[in-house]
Structure 1
Amino acid sequence: MPSRPVPFFRGVAAAAMLALLALGGCQSLQSSDNFLGVITPYRLEVVQGNVITREMAQAVKPGMTRAEVRDVLGSPLLTDVFHANRWDYVFTIRRQGAEPQLRRVVALFENDRLASIDSGGELPAEREFVASIDTFKTARNAPPLELTEAQLKALPPPAAAPSASAPASAPARSYPPLESRP
């Protein structure tokens, strides 16, 4: 008489097949970090290096000493032992809601004097840089923070301050002296 498979093993085989199908279905889900486009995880802001703006690069002139360059641009992120005449300034920032940014600036020295500075492209001005990392949305109907000249003239004059000629009243209580007299 042929032996029939035990129902237990049939159940295990069915569960294994179901688990394999479920795992295969997981691969077809979205690989992005948001759940149905509504919930996004918090991402830590990562800032590395020195921010070098257009104004800072323009302040550095050929012939400046290493100390003067360090005063303007800050300490370099990378100083190579094998290339002692080269300082690398690398800046990276990753913020949630903003595009990642990467900038490289190379300062080359000859006889401890700045020979050239290369940014590999256009550096942003300070205001442009701040605007590029600002992820806060401004309100459409934000109230003005300053009054115009016409609004200042339309204000009523300030109330007169009370005169200081009113006599000061005596204290309501009489306190004993702190030190006893001999």
Structure 2
Amino acid sequence: MKRLLIASMAAMILSLSGCSWFEGYRPPIQQGNVVSSQQVARLQPGMSKEQVRFIIGDPMLVDPFDPNRWDYTYYDQPSFGKTTTHHLTLYFSHGQLARIVGKGATTVTRK
């Protein structure tokens, strides 16, 4: 009787160890540039690339075929919940800010 109890407990433990009912811990992932709405509000057409870089930092991507386009992307995947992506593109003409495209302005608060 004791062997049967031990064998059934071992079988139960082994069968539940491969069970996918319970999710393991997933660390939150944040990648890219966090650009706040206050930073975007400070951008003005006609600013130089150095002034823009001072306000919102280095771009995540500078297109090698079009160096007058800067892309700022932010990706947030929390442990639980919805993944969000924000994208902001800046276009320059003759070394000065000409156009801002994208929603990209985000305020991130982590507790």
In the superposition, the TM-score normalised over structure 1's length comes to 0.47
What is residue 94 of structure 1 aligned with on the other side? 77
Q: Deviations over 1:112-136 (max 9, x none)?
A: 10001112x3734x3xx32xx55xx
Size of the aligned set, in residue pairs, is 93
In the superposition, the TM-score normalised over structure 2's length comes to 0.74
What is residue 60 of structure 2 aligned with on the other side? 77
Counting strand residues as a fraction of each chain, which structure ranks higher?
A: 2
**Pair 104,80 (structure 1): closer, same or farther in 2 beyond 3 Å:** same
**Aligned equivalents of 1:90, 1:46: Cα separation in 2:** 14
| Structure having the higher Rg | 1
Aligned residue identity for 1:123: A
- Larger relative contact order, structure 1 or 2 (CA cutoff 8 Å, min sep 6): 2
Give identity over the alignment, percent. Answer: 27
Aligned residue identity for 1:104: H
User: Structure 2 regions of 5+ residues with no counterpart?
Assistant: 1-19
**Aligned equivalents of 2:31, 2:78: Cα separation in 1:** 12
What is residue 91 of structure 2 aligned with on the other side? 108
What is residue 40 of structure 2 aligned with on the other side? 57
**Pair 99,52 (structure 1): closer, same or farther in 2 beyond 3 Å:** same
**Aligned equivalents of 1:112, 1:50: Cα separation in 2:** 22
